[in-house]
Amino acid sequence: MSDRILLIAVDWGTSRLRAMAVAANGAVIEERDSEDGIAKVAAGGHEAAFEALAAGWPREAPAIMAGMVGSRQGWREAAYAPCPAKVDDLASQMLRFSGAGGRRLAIVPGVMLRDPGRDGDVIRGEETQIVGLLAQEPGFAGVVILPGTHSKWASVTGGAIADFQTYLTGELFELLSKHSFLRHSVAEGEGDLAAAPGFRLGVERTAKAGLPFLAAIFSVRVRQLLDNVDRADNLAYLSGLVIGGEIAAAAAAGRLTRSQPIRIIGTRSLARAYRAALTIAGYEAEALDGGPLVAAGLVHLASKTGMLEGNAA
């Protein structure tokens, strides 16, 4: 099988390392992953961690990598491309170098935005999922939401990331549900939060009724204290408040209009929750699975720079 591997596409984030062996036609032949996220690998240990995962794959196949691997804490720091960033800009601004073992390597740059109203913003990793979306829908223009620990909302037009904003939604949900005094008022574990009635109520309050997020969160405690609301439903309510708050903040910044198509890129459960929240708030969105889009984005960027041509043994 290894004679058909022309490229290794790598999604290397904070907590996971994922590598895909890619054939000449761009198809993923084999996929492997490990716990060797950037947070775990010490300085100087990146090549060994990567080659351990890629063992047996051809050493002459170049590797293209995206994610925190290009951060200051990563293998090599890949400078941010300025916004608006076209796919071609990302391809031409990749950091190219060779490993000690001779493998040709490339790291996709993150994207940086300057905005005097909030200093600016940065993306690292999500840009490659957006490239994957553009590889599949070259003419896409609209809003791309990438929910997660740090949710990103990107405005995509003319084949470029025109603008974007980061919300700490996932991290705030984690802090509030597990580390604030509200933890006594909500259940542990998550499940399908978006299906609970509390989720809808939470989204309605912050995204429809306009209750500011900071004015809304104490109600999680009140519901449990005065009304003895079921803790599982209360966790869903908190999730609804936080995601609804994100939607309200994005709408206030003009990031959401009913005329623009909206794509959500994420894991299945998270994408479903965001889609449900957007529906409650009156917006239609289409949810896409993030994993295949990273692969598509990496292959697209590799093909733009000749990395996918004729490296087979």
* Helix (H), strand (E) at residue 153: strand 151-157
Residue 77 or 137: the one with the smaller Cβ distance to its own copies is: 77
Does position 79 interact with its own copies (CB under 8 A)? The reply is no
> If binding is defined by CB under 8 A, does position 97 make contact with its own copies?
no
Nearer to its own copies, 100 or 214 (CB): 214
Tell me, residue by residue from 129 to 158, as one string, x for binding to its own copies by CB under 8 A and - for no binding.
Answer: ---------------------x--------
78 in Cβ contact with 55 (< 8 Å): no
Choose between 232 and 251: whose C-beta lies nearer to its own copies.
Answer: 251
| Cβ distance to its own copies smaller for residue 8 or 182 | 182
Residue 2 to residue 313: CA distance in whole angstroms: 9
What are the angstrom distances between the C-alpha of 304 and each of 5, 71, 173, 269? 18, 23, 39, 33
- Exactly one of 212, 269, 286, 289 binds its own copies (CB under 8 A); that residue is 212
Contacts with its own copies in 222-281 (CB under 8 A)?
A: 222-223, 225-227, 245-246, 248-250, 252-253
Identity of the residue, 250 or 295, whose beta carbon is nearer to its own copies in the bound complex = 250
| Contact flag: residue 167 with its own copies (CB under 8 A) | yes
Q: What order of strands is seen across the sheet that includes strand 81-82?
A: 81-82, 111-115, 119-123
CB of 252 to its own copies, least distance (A): 5
Q: Per-residue contact track with its own copies, 105 to 124, x per CB under 8 A?
A: -------x----xxxxxx--
Structure tokens at 43: 């300085």
Burial label for 252, CB within 10 Å (0-12, 13-18, 19+), is: exposed
At 203 the three-state DSSP class reads helix
